[in-house]
Structure 1
Amino acid sequence: MHYLKEKICYKEGGTSTNIDNENDENNAESKNINEYNNVEDAPTKGSENLGRGNDQAEDDKETNKRLRGNDDKDINNLGSKKIKQTDISEEDNKNDMEEKCDKLNIIDKNGEIEKSINYKNYAISNKKSEKENFYSEQKFEDLDICDALKKGLKELNFITLTEIQSKCIPHFLNGKDILGAAKTGSGKTLAFLVPSINILYNIKFLPKNGTGVLIISPTRELCLQIYQVCTGLCKYIPQTNGIIIGGVSRNEEKKKFIHGINILIATPGRLLDHMQNTKEFNYKNLLCLIIDEADRLLQIGFEEEINLIVKRLPKKRQTALFSATQTTKVESLIRLSLQKPIFIEVTTKIATVERLQQGYALVDEDKRFLLLFTFLKRNTSKKIMVFFNNCMSVQFYNDLLNYIDIPTFCIHGKKKQNQRLKSFNEFSAAKNAILLCTNVAARGLDIPNVNYIIQYDPPDDSKEYIHRVGRTCRGNDSAGSAIIFLMKHELKFLNYLKFYNIPVNQFSYDQKKLINIQSQMESIVTKNFHLHKMAREAFKSYLNGYVTYALKDVFDINNLNLMLTSKNFGLDTPPKVDLNLKFNAKKKKFK
């Protein structure tokens, strides 16, 4: 395959101004953090080698000059903090909205967060709080846990318990099953790690006894994150811990089972594989089962695996199940796995944290990438996550942005595990960086100091919106901003957010001050074989994803102008896409 060899360097003159009107900070070097499970090093940050041939060198020099010519000295703001509150609900009939939401299991009749579980069947340890209470008044040093665990907590700088921790840990230490509901970033990882580790320590559970604590989580990144925290907590404790996930050698994992893994963190697919095929895996002495992000596990299709896993485990055990949202499938899993659980809920009437500044940008169909490009150029000193709805879009925009000298990391489901881990670790350690990702990074990942969440592609529903924006404002003291890009026909999505009491303001920007690189972008994509192929595939994936949106009254494929939409991918003409939809002759939207 022939790639073009020489890169275009895009450098602007003038001073950058970000959405908060703050002065840009100096770029800081990224610090490496530990990688786990002996995952081999991946290629360095950036895209594939997108080379240029000599036959295009002169054209590229001219394109480079035009790119440099876009001076942004006169740009004041891309947006502002204080923008009018938008109320679109008057445009729609409220009863009609409630009916639609009810059919989609998004809200209940009172417009509050859905809870389809009948909680009166469970003991409830607390009531809802009207205010956001993140930390409790309780200290880890006051807990009835071993000194070795307290020492590990102190070294990791865990001093004060969060609300979910203060309510879960005592019940779990007393032998109760736990059903936990807390919004993202509430600190539930320690809520199950601390008591389960202490239980093994107190009974002197040894490696020869096999696995005593099993923690199941939906994604590899979440498992690695839990493993990282667990390793730190177990620094002064003799019990062993390990991780089994897809993308890592099964034979290497089998060797670990021979020596015994007391605390095992796993994704469900690989876990079930070892339960069925690895005789060295001893789980007959299991004491604690932790199911983390249960709603997410079921949503992405692990229902059968989870049921088979639970049925194989000893009946006499403690179980803790955590789920940010409660659905009918979660209720079925509760009946299968829990026995007379204590229901613990830490939430507020506002579904997102109060410190989070949230807004939307109304953008024309053909200006979405220009707005993103301008925003990224104005905020080079910030830490930014950009969400897309499909893997091909993430990879295409990652390759394109790196190609025009905007360094980005990317994480998506089709990326190799060692590359995903490297991107995650380097972005987490960086002071200022850009991560392009799919929803694989939306749940549970604890990435420090994220300044902005950009939802380039809107989420499928309000719940996914909440999890995406939950990647910023992690902890009690941090602040951040979240911006969702919406086209005019997508503005009804704001009504669904309002049912969750999510305050969303409109962020304004001057379209005349967007950095217009459209013609240069199309020239680059046309000339570069790799980028052109990626652009076409990403465009097709975007449309196929748009068809699958559940909120058809908001995300209707027939409202898209395909010619304008293709501009965001650097295409002058949209490729043919078979969506099995009827051609709209009046609007001429399909070629």
Structure 2
Amino acid sequence: MTQVTVTQPEKKRRRRNKAKAATAPSETQQENVGQKEALPEPASGGGEVPAETVGVAGDQVQSGDATAPQPAKKRRRGTRGKSQAVAGREAEPEAPNNVNQSGPVEEADPEPVNDGNENAQNEEDVKGAEGPSADVDDTSRNVNPADVALDYDFGSLELSTATRSALTDIGYERMTEVQARCIPLLLSGADVLGAAKTGSGKTMAFLIPAVELLYKAEFKPRNGTGVIVITPTRELALQIYGEARKLLKYHSQTHGIVIGGGNRKQEEDKLKRGVNVLIATPGRLLDHLQNTNFTFKNLIGLVIDEADRILEIGFEQELREIIKILPSKRQTMLFSATQTQKVKDIARVSTNKSPVYVGVDDHKEAATRKGLTQGYVVCPSERRFLLLYSFLKRNLKKKVIVFFSTCMSVKFHAELLNYIDIPVIELHGKLKQSKRTSTFFEFVNAERGILLCTDVAARGLDIPEVDWIIQFDPPSDPKEYIHRVGRTARGVAGAKGKALLFMLPQEVKFLHHLKYAKIPVCEFEFPTSKIANVQSQLEALIEKTYYLYKSAREAYRAYIQGYAQASLKDVFDVHSLDLEAVARSFGFTAPPKVPLKIALTGKNSRKRSRHGFNQDNPYGDAKTPPQFSR
């Protein structure tokens, strides 16, 4: 009797299981069902399910084919042993195909793939699976520009009447892409980490929200400083200050600027009276924060513009000190053309919450603007100046910027070109601040002209209608290249410009770095017959004109010293320079006697000694000193 009670339920369960097995599809049928969906093959994980099959709730797939139908009883029986959280996700309806949907993103949901890879997920599946911050790390929330519908009309923004009137006076009706993506986020109070190509209009992308922030808080001069904008260079600070003045035209808020080289006493007096919007360079700002008794405890907004450049030029420690001193309860807007680890570190310490990352150009194929035609020319050292002279002579009616690697090289070439009746102006770090300011605005307001400059003018400066960017000395890396050529083809869609890079034959490896950085360049050819052969006249001029000889000697020395400090040693190897040819490009018949503090040892020392300098002769070869006419 006892034996019957034990076996009877077992027989019934076996019969039930056989009946259910007869109604369920076979493994082959399950495979066929999967094939009908035309899903991609799974990755090399054996039974791993491809991301597209996970769709909304990745946890509902335990094993096997996700598309195989399951009997209702079996599914209920399968969920009894699971936690309520898992069972609840199985029962959830499919999320709408909308990137703006709200709701938490489950850890088990697939992360969207947006790396341009051929094996990326289907875009519709990704959109259906992700919430507004589907790609979250410990630093920022990413906004994929391709997934957000934009309204480029300034009228779509909730702005004060005073700001609207100012924008009308300036002539702004349509936003650029970075403005359309960043301004609404900033007006809503979010911290933003923005990345956009130079010349994209990001100055207004942070100035408009900053002004609106002060307007809504009803800031008065007695409240002190409410918004601080930190920028790397004096020229960029002056330019941002000019835009801020225009934007504040109909507002009651006050504005001011503190920069190195300015009158510190006047800055101090104005700060004490109350500056609501303050534009500053890092060093001078830190000086005032530590030594000037002005009110900044009510600060509600901090803007760090060109953050990568601030860090590159050695202001990281000052920036960290500034962030420590300023009130932590504020909105932060950080803009950077490149996203380095140091920039991410600054973003982490300067923002109160995870900033929204807006990468305007992340989904675009090229790192430079569309309307920019870019080319290079391979030219030996001794013919570089001849080619530059010929080019400038034929483009006197254009607006041209020529970049050099050192201040002394800018100074010499400006003196030389002006002497031989090619009018140019110069801008570099060794000029007094008043001269730098007047030169900058002179070129900004000119319809045509030639500006010789160092990289002090390569970052952020908005110089309208530049026709040509000439890089006479190559940039230190692709990032600097991008910023240099960003001085043309700026602003509105459809803007045009041209860029030309001078390269020595041994520097052509730099093209690989440009290609890797998604910078499209093509080779330009200049017929030899069209290059002015004025070398003998140049050498005679340098030999007989004392101030040009002295300037050329300093420029020659600075060029070699700067070349030795280049970061891309595989491209810019100082030991590969033919110093006799370099000397000729500066108007010498032989390398001049100058101190070159370059360590040359072993094979390189022996190999290069014939070119003018080695360990025993650090001054290089020199002829009898020339006799100058007085």
TM > 0.5: yes
- Is residue 2:168 matched to residue 1:150? no
Letter in 1 for 2:435: Q
- Is residue 2:602 matched to residue 1:585? no
Match of 1:194 in 2: 208
- Is residue 2:133 matched to residue 1:121? no
Does 391-400 or 579-588 show the bigger shift? 579-588
CA distance in 1, matches of 2:494, 2:435: 31
Letter in 1 for 2:196: A
Letter in 1 for 2:274: G
Q: C-alpha displacement at 1:138, in angstroms?
A: 2.4
8 Å contact kept, 2:272–2:295:
no
| Residues 10-409 of structure 1 aligned to structure 2 (within 5 Å) | 120-122=137-139, 124=141, 126-129=143-146, 137-279=151-293, 281-338=294-351, 339-347=353-361, 348-409=364-425
Partner residue of 2:564 out of 511, 529, 547? 547
| Residues 447-458 of structure 1 aligned to structure 2 (within 5 Å) | 447-458=463-474
8 Å contact kept, 1:136–1:160:
no
Indicate the SS of the match to 2:152.
Answer: strand
Letter in 1 for 2:264: R
Letter in 2 for 1:441: A
Q: C-alpha displacement at 1:388, in angstroms?
A: 0.5
Match of 2:449 in 1: 433
Q: C-alpha displacement at 1:119, in angstroms?
A: 6.4
Match of 2:461 in 1: 445
CA distance in 1, matches of 2:116, 2:244: 41
Q: C-alpha displacement at 1:141, in angstroms?
A: 2.2
CA distance in 1, matches of 2:428, 2:580: 27
Letter in 1 for 2:470: I
- Is residue 2:501 matched to residue 1:479? no
CA distance in 1, matches of 2:219, 2:137: 36
CA distance in 1, matches of 2:540, 2:141: 61
Match of 1:50 in 2: none
| Residues 500-579 of structure 1 aligned to structure 2 (within 5 Å) | 500-575=517-592, 576=594, 577-579=596-598
Indicate the SS of the match to 1:481.
Answer: strand
| CA offsets 1:43-101 (integer angstroms, 9 cap, x no match) | xxxxxxxxxxxxxxxxxxxxxxxxxxxxxxxxxxxxxxxxxxxxxxxxxxxxxxxxxxx
8 Å contact kept, 2:143–2:356:
no
- Is residue 2:478 matched to residue 1:465? no
Q: C-alpha displacement at 1:109, in angstroms?
A: 13
Letter in 2 for 1:274: H
Q: C-alpha displacement at 1:202, in angstroms?
A: 1.7
CA distance in 2, matches of 1:506, 1:296: 29
Which 5+ residue runs of structure 2 have no aligned equivalent? 1-114, 118-134, 614-619, 621-630
Percent of residue pairs identical? 50
Using the size of structure 1 for normalisation, the TM-score is 0.78
8 Å contact kept, 1:136–1:162:
no
More helix, by proportion: 2
| CA offsets 1:541-588 (integer angstroms, 9 cap, x no match) | 100111111111111111110001011111122124231223643451
Q: 1:129 to 1:402 in 2, by over 3 A?
A: farther
Q: C-alpha displacement at 1:129, in angstroms?
A: 5.0
8 Å contact kept, 1:125–1:167:
no
Indicate the SS of the match to 2:413.
Answer: helix
Q: C-alpha displacement at 1:310, in angstroms?
A: 0.5
CA distance in 2, matches of 1:145, 1:123: 26
Indicate the SS of the match to 2:366.
Answer: coil
Indicate the SS of the match to 2:397.
Answer: coil
Letter in 2 for 1:520: Q
8 Å contact kept, 2:469–2:498:
yes
8 Å contact kept, 1:137–1:160:
no
Partner residue of 2:428 out of 405, 412, 416? 412
Indicate the SS of the match to 2:444.
Answer: helix
CA distance in 1, matches of 2:238, 2:550: 33
Which 5+ residue runs of structure 1 have no aligned equivalent? 1-107, 111-117
CA distance in 2, matches of 1:213, 1:536: 47
Root mean square deviation of aligned Cα:
1.9
CA distance in 2, matches of 1:501, 1:259: 49
Q: 1:316 to 1:148 in 2, by over 3 A?
A: same
8 Å contact kept, 2:199–2:486:
yes
- Is residue 2:425 matched to residue 1:424? no
Indicate the SS of the match to 1:242.
Answer: strand
Indicate the SS of the match to 1:466.
Answer: helix
Match of 2:106 in 1: none
CA distance in 1, matches of 2:137, 2:196: 18
CA distance in 2, matches of 1:351, 1:218: 22
Q: C-alpha displacement at 1:125, in angstroms?
A: 5.2
Letter in 1 for 2:204: L
CA distance in 2, matches of 1:349, 1:524: 48
CA distance in 2, matches of 1:536, 1:179: 45
Q: C-alpha displacement at 1:137, in angstroms?
A: 3.6
Letter in 1 for 2:540: S
| CA offsets 1:175-194 (integer angstroms, 9 cap, x no match) | 11111111111111111110
CA distance in 1, matches of 2:223, 2:141: 34
Q: C-alpha displacement at 1:273, in angstroms?
A: 0.6
Indicate the SS of the match to 2:171.
Answer: coil
Q: C-alpha displacement at 1:128, in angstroms?
A: 4.9
Letter in 2 for 1:326: Q
CA distance in 1, matches of 2:151, 2:157: 12
CA distance in 1, matches of 2:195, 2:239: 20
8 Å contact kept, 1:205–1:239:
yes
| CA offsets 1:490-522 (integer angstroms, 9 cap, x no match) | 001001111122111110011232111111111
Q: C-alpha displacement at 1:124, in angstroms?
A: 3.8
CA distance in 1, matches of 2:141, 2:152: 20
CA distance in 2, matches of 1:358, 1:225: 26
CA distance in 2, matches of 1:215, 1:567: 46
Does 456-465 or 136-145 show the bigger shift? 136-145
Does 163-172 or 236-245 show the bigger shift? 163-172
Indicate the SS of the match to 2:328.
Answer: coil
